Amino acid sequence: MAPMGIRLSPLGMAVFCLLGLGVLYHLYSGFLAGRFAFFMLSEPAAGGPDNPRGSAPAGAVDLRELLAASVLAAVKGGEEVKRVREGNVLNAKAKGKTREGAEEQLTSGDLLSNRKMFRLLKGAFPAVQINSEERVDTADQEPVSWDRVIPDDIKQKIQPKEVPAESVTVWIDPLDATQEYTEDLRQYVTTMVCVAVDGKPVIGVIHKPFSAYTAWAMVDGGSNVKARSSYNEKTPRIIVSRSHAGKVEQVARQTFGNKTVIIPAGGAGYKVLALLDVAEKNQEAADVYIHVTYIKKWDICAGNAVLRALGGHMTTLTGEEISYTGSDGNEGGLIASINMNHKALLEKLPDLEKTSHK
């Protein structure tokens, strides 16, 4: 007999038990749902698919990773350049004229190298702005993947450094010295990648496809190349474009003396390497690099970054720093040096700036 004379039927007991189980289920399922939601929200921060362990968070770029990918992109582009040249399938055609009236050449090497370099960098860093000399065919979706492996020499010299993706601009030159490329002057040809942060060049990669030599450097990081240690400031060796040698020679000899050596050469990448300690038989050595006309930023950004990383300078002919944002051209010519008094050089060459806008 139940207390107070209340008798519970078997049916009542069953209903009571079901109600109790329902309350317990409601409470416990809420607890599980909360724990599951917490797990799902917390997991990506620990290394989920949107943020793999060891990579920069969304909206940030690791400059060490970008350097490693840039080196690989320059090498992969160089492989295309070399393959086309050695197969003699350049398919060269004129794409326009320079301001001086010279024909600009476009080859299969330019296009195939550009496609390889752009796809690799864009696939690895989709949030980063990439400026390239050649147009990218948006219909061509051939993937070029990067395995995110950082070479040992970069890993040993460079520490990870994250910057906002929106502050980064990458400049690609898929084939520097195209004119010389068509003339089979292979020593002048390079592929280049530059990374600018807030307009300042901080990573430079210069690759010579036909000798498999690659120079790279990162400002406030490290490099795999050094500056030349010997030069004569009174009678420097000045390297200039083959087409501009006459414009520079007269002023240079008046400034530095008749013993000044003028070195005509092709390609901005080659000219910067001439200022560095590059142990190659096909690489000439110089003390100063001068360019007296308009030049595109993808031609000079990588060299500018390498020089900055090694303590050198590349400025306009009036001494202004070159910003790697905005337009793709540099109007003020340039002068580059390393281990020299750059300000004194600028003061010695005042007349060259007048020719840079012609």
Q: Kindly calculate the radius of gyration of the chain based on its CA atoms and give it in whole angstroms.
A: 30
Q: Which tokens go with 46?
A: 């620990």
What is the Cα–Cα distance from 253 to 258, expressed in whole angstroms? 5
- 173 labeled part of a ligand binding site: yes
Catalytic positions, written as ranges: 110, 178
- Residue 21, judged by CB atoms within 10 A of its CB (0-12, 13-18, 19+), counts as exposed
What is the Cα–Cα distance from 271 to 2, expressed in whole angstroms? 104
- 67 labeled part of a ligand binding site: no
Beta strands in the chain (DSSP E): 60-62, 93-97, 103-106, 129-132, 162-164, 168-176, 190-197, 200-208, 213-218, 222-223, 237-241, 261-265, 288-291, 295-296, 313-315, 329-330, 334-337
What is the Cα–Cα distance from 251 to 228, expressed in whole angstroms? 25
What is the Cα–Cα distance from 326 to 352, expressed in whole angstroms? 25
What is the Cα–Cα distance from 177 to 174, expressed in whole angstroms? 10
**Residue-by-residue DSSP string for 56-67:** PPTTEEEHHHHH
- 220 labeled part of a ligand binding site: no
- 176 labeled part of a ligand binding site: yes
Residues 6 or more apart whose Cβ sits within 8 Å of residue 357: 294, 331, 332
- 299 labeled part of a ligand binding site: yes
Query: What is the torsional sign of CA 150, 154, 157, 160?
Result: negative
Q: Which residues are annotated as a binding site for Mg(2+)?
A: 133, 173, 175-176, 299
Q: Which residues are annotated as a binding site?
A: 133, 173, 175-176, 299
